[in-house]
Amino acid sequence: MGSRAESKAESSRRVVAAAAGLFRRQGYAATTVPQIAAVAGVSVGTVASVGSKDALFLRVWEEASTAASLDMLAGARQASGSVTERVWSYFDGLVESSIAMPDALRDYFVAYLRERDHVENQARLAGVVDAIRGLFPADEQSATSSPAVLAAWTLWLSFSSICFGLAATSIPPDEARRLMRSVVVAQCAPFEE
């Protein structure tokens, strides 16, 4: 029984890796489930059992962006300067990355809205928001209601809204930068000494 589970896990890993490579090289629209199956060396049915094209795109995007975010946050924690400048160093990088890939950002939002299961991403997102909280001075309040947690969630939700505006081309890049910077300044102000 262990070898069947191991085989299924290996097939799943190959499907995700194949999808990641194809999405990166060709983009979302040009990538098909049969292509993913061919690159992974599995059947189309096996790909479908791992996830739909949207689900695979979301998984690949969210895993990569979570890893990149956590790396960027680790760097921001080590940076000198005010709370505002540490937090901005992280969000500035995110905004610039989002501006640089409007088509992929749009594809992400479309896939996100079509999919219903976001449980795995909720756990990843909670880890990112907790890491954002780590950029603020420690506080003694509960994890769900501390000023730092509320600021971290406000920052993340503001960034997400700005990304949606970028994807919909309703917010120009300069305005996205200005809006996010103003949110960072406002949320960090109470933590500056």
DSSP of 75-86, one letter per residue?
A: HHHH--S-HHHH
Residues 15-19: what's their mean pLDDT? 96
CATH class of 52-191: mainly alpha
At 173, the pLDDT band (50, 70, 90 cuts) reads very high
At 111, the pLDDT band (50, 70, 90 cuts) reads very high
Q: What's the pLDDT at 143? A: 67
CA–CA gap between residue 166 and residue 161 (Å, rounded) = 9
Look up residue 34 and give its amino acid.
Answer: P
Q: What's the pLDDT at 9? A: 87
Listed in order, the ranges of the chain carrying CATH 1.10.357.10 are 52-191
Least confident range from 12-16, 75-79, 139-143: namely: 139-143
Listed in order, the ranges of the chain carrying CATH 1.10.10 are 1-50
Q: Which of 45-49, 101-105, 112-116 is predicted most confidently?
A: 45-49
Domain 1-50, CATH 1.10.3470 — does that match? no
Separation in Å, CA 128 to CA 25, 30, 53, 103, 105: 27, 30, 25, 24, 19
Q: What's the pLDDT at 58? A: 94
More confident residue, 2 or 30: 30
Q: What's the pLDDT at 141? A: 62
